[in-house]
Structure 1
Amino acid sequence: MVRFKNRWLLVEFIPLDQTKPAPSRLDSKIIWAALRDSIQENFGDFGWGAVSHSLTVKYFSPTTNICIIRVAREQHRIARGGVTLIKAIDGVRILPFVIDLTGTIKHAQLSAIEHNRKTIARYRARAGTSSTYHDSYDQFLETSSREIEALRD
């Protein structure tokens, strides 16, 4: 029996237009469609044919704008190239930042949880609140950690 080996991309989508509100909420389907369009535009039908069977968006957090993408090990360079070449998603200009590329879902989960904690710490520092202050971000960290840990291959 052959095991399919995957690579996991942890990506943050940084919105460039902070003054203009997003026309719609991002979700996994919209990100997948934008990634498909980017790969087809930049790598053609060959590139899309290579990654289409294994490319999935497993997780997206609209609060921290991070996303976990799974792709087959042999085609991870095409997928990463497609991610970095995305200019806009659903009319909103974004800057994709690949945080981590891992070989297992467990390491992607750990990186995502750690990145969420760092992002929330930056939000709190910007707001001037102490680390002992309890707010809605505590609940977000708890629920997002549970969601990320529940992901399966």
Structure 2
Amino acid sequence: MVRFKNRWILVEFIPCVSPTNSNNSSILAAPVLNSPNNEITRWGAVGSSLNIKYYSPTTNVCIIRVARDPYRIAWAGVTFLTSIDGKGYLPNVVHVSGTIKQAQMAAIQHNREVIARYRVLARTPAAYQDSYETFLKTSTEEIEALQD
């Protein structure tokens, strides 16, 4: 018996705000979950193995599982996504790994970095307790609970 080998792609969807539209709302989970599947399934072998395991609307980060052989096609397909539900996004592939554990650790670290950027923008002191602490705790638990 041969086990199914995967690659795990950690992607951040950065909202592109046009000068006329300053609505900076985060993207909804359903369009993100459907868009990579719809766009990339046209590319053949990737479609059957592509699966989005995690999505955070707060940090716009998702973890995608794909078969090992066509993972570069999935990576390319994700980077070609420019809009989801008519809103512009810039996909940024943060990390690619061969194990879910490495993807989990990269996602947790990336969430902490994004929250640190939010705090800098809000000019909050380092020891300040805010709602992001709760988010970091719950997102870490959700990410660690992911199974292959």
TM-score, normalised via structure 2 length: 0.91
When the two chains are superposed, the root-mean-square deviation of aligned CA atoms in Å is 1.6
**Per-residue deviation at 1:51?**
1.0
Asked if 1:56 corresponds to 2:51, the answer is yes
Amino acid at match of 1:3: R
Q: Is the CA contact (8 Å cut-off) linking 2:37 and 2:50 kept in structure 1?
A: no
**Which structure carries more helix by proportion?**
1
SS for the counterpart of 1:101 is: strand
Of 75, 81, 84, the residue aligned with 2:79 is 84
Runs ≥4 residues deviating over 4 A: none
Q: Is the CA contact (8 Å cut-off) linking 2:53 and 2:63 kept in structure 1?
A: yes
Aligned identity (percent) is 55
Please give the alpha-carbon distance, in whole angstroms, between the structure 2 residues aligned to 1:92 and 1:128: 28
Please give the alpha-carbon distance, in whole angstroms, between the structure 2 residues aligned to 1:13 and 1:131: 26
Please give the alpha-carbon distance, in whole angstroms, between the structure 2 residues aligned to 1:21 and 1:104: 33
- How many corresponding residue pairs? 145
**Per-residue deviation at 1:21?**
5.2
Counterpart in the other structure of 2:101: 106
Please give the alpha-carbon distance, in whole angstroms, between the structure 1 residues aligned to 2:40 and 2:53: 18
Of 23, 26, 29, the residue aligned with 2:28 is 26
TM-score, normalised via structure 1 length: 0.89
Please give the alpha-carbon distance, in whole angstroms, between the structure 1 residues aligned to 2:24 and 2:91: 18
